[in-house]
Structure 1
Amino acid sequence: MSMERTKQRDAIGASDPIIRMNDASVTYDDGGSYVLDGVSLEIERGEILGIVGESGSGKSMLASAMLDAVPNPGLLSGEIVHRSSDGTETDILELAQSELRSMRWEEISMVFQGAMSSFNPTMKIRGHFVETLDAHDADRAAGMERARELLSDLYLDPDRVLDSYPHELSGGMTQRALIALSLVLDPDLLVMDEPTAALDLLMQRSILQLLGGLREKYDLTMVFITHDLPLVAALADRLAVMYAFKLVEIADTREMIEDAGHPYTRALLNSTPNLDAPLEEMRPIDGKSPAPINLPSGCAYHPRCPLATEQCREEVPGYHEVTAGHGAACFHWEEAIEEIPLNYTDSLGDTAATGGGAADEQ
Structure 2
Amino acid sequence: MSNTDTIVEVSNLDVTFQMDRGQSHVVRDVNLDVARNETLGIIGESGSGKSMLASSFLNAVIDPGVSTGKVMYHPEDGAPVSVLELSDSELDRFRWEEVAMVFQGAMSSFNPVTKIRTQFRETLQDHGRDIPAGMDRAHELLESVYLDPDRILDSYAHELSGGMKQRALIALSLLLEPDLLVLDEPTAALDLLMQRSIVTLLDELQTEYDLTLVFITHDLPLLTTLADRIAVMYAFNLTEIGTTDELLYNASHPYTRALLDATPDLNVPVDEMSIIKGSKPDPVDRISGCSYSPRCPIADDRCRSEEPPMMTVRDAHESACFYYDDAPDAVPISAAPDERPSSGRTTATEGRDN
Which category describes the TM-score, using the shorter chain as reference length?
Answer: over 0.9
Alignment length (residue pairs) = 349
1:168-317 equivalent positions in 2, closer than 5 A: 168-317=159-308
Equivalence for 1:351: 345
Query: In 2, distance between residues paired with 1:36 and 1:196?
Result: 23
Which stretches of structure 1, 4 residues or longer, exceed 4 Å deviation after superposition?
12-15, 347-350
Report the Cα offset of residue 280 of structure 1: 4.0
How far apart are the structure 2 equivalents of 1:317 and 1:122?
51
**Aligned-partner Cα distance in 1 for 2:207–2:125:** 28
TM-score (norm 1): 0.92
Distance, in Å, in 1 between the alignment partners of 2:330 and 2:139 is 53
User: Could you say what secondary structure the match of 2:326 adopts?
Assistant: helix
SS in 1 for 2:203: helix
| Cα offset, 1:76, TM superposition | 1.0
Give me the identity figure in percent: 55
Deviates more, 1:250-259 or 1:275-284: 275-284
Partner secondary structure for residue 147 of structure 2: coil
CA contact 1:14–1:42 (8 Å) conserved in 2 = no
Query: What is the correspondence of 1:1-362 to structure 2 with a 5 Å cutoff?
Result: 16-29=5-18, 32-86=23-77, 88-344=79-335, 345-346=337-338, 351=345, 356-362=348-354
Output one character per residue of 1:27-67: Cα deviation in whole Å (capped at 9) or x when no partner: 22298321110111110000000000001100000011111
- Residues 51 and 63 of structure 1, relative CA distance in 2, 3 Å threshold: same
Q: Distance in 1 between matches of 2:159 and 2:82?
A: 41
Deviation at 1:173, TM superposition (A): 0.4
CA deviation string 1:115-142 (max 9, x = no partner): 0111110011111100101000111111
Q: Which moved more, 1:181-190 or 1:298-307?
A: 298-307
Amino acid corresponding to residue 240 of structure 1 in structure 2: A
* Alignment partners' CA distance in 1, 2:343 and 2:251: 19
CA distance in 2, matches of 1:310, 1:29: 31
Please tell me whether the aligned partners of residues 13 and 42 of structure 1 are also in contact (alpha carbons under 8 angstroms): no
Instruction: Kindly report the root-mean-square deviation, in angstroms, between the aligned alpha carbons of the 2 structures.
Output: 1.8
Question: 1 CA distance for matches of 2:194 and 2:24?
Answer: 37
Q: Normalising by structure 2, what TM-score?
A: 0.94
Cα distance in 2 for residues equivalent to 1:38 and 1:236 = 24
Q: 1:13 touches 1:325 (CA, 8 Å); kept in 2?
A: no
Q: Secondary structure at the match of 1:294?
A: coil
Aligned residue in 2 for 1:9:
none
1:241-297 Cα shifts (integer Å, max 9, x gaps): 000100111000011111111111111100011123343442111122112112322
- Please give the per-residue CA displacement for 1:212-261, whole angstroms capped at 9, x wherever unaligned: 10001001000000011111111000000000100111000011111111
The worse-fitting range, judged by mean Cα deviation, of 244-253 and 293-302 is 293-302
- Equivalent residue of 2:16, what SS? strand
Letter in 2 for 1:231: L
> Does the CA-based 8 Å contact 1:251-1:327 persist in structure 2?
yes
Contact 1:14–1:43 (CA<8 Å) still a contact in 2? no
Shift of 1:359: 3.2
Unaligned runs of 5+ residues in structure 2 are none
Deviates more, 1:151-160 or 1:88-97: 88-97
Deviations 1:134-159 (A, max 9, x none): 00011111111111111111111111
Distance 1:13-1:310 versus aligned 2 partners, 3 A rule = farther
Task: Give a deviation string over 1:97-128, Cα, whole Å, max 9, x none.
Answer: 10111000000000112101111100111111
- 1:159 alignment partner, SS class: helix
* Aligned partners of 1:36 and 1:58 also within 8 Å: yes
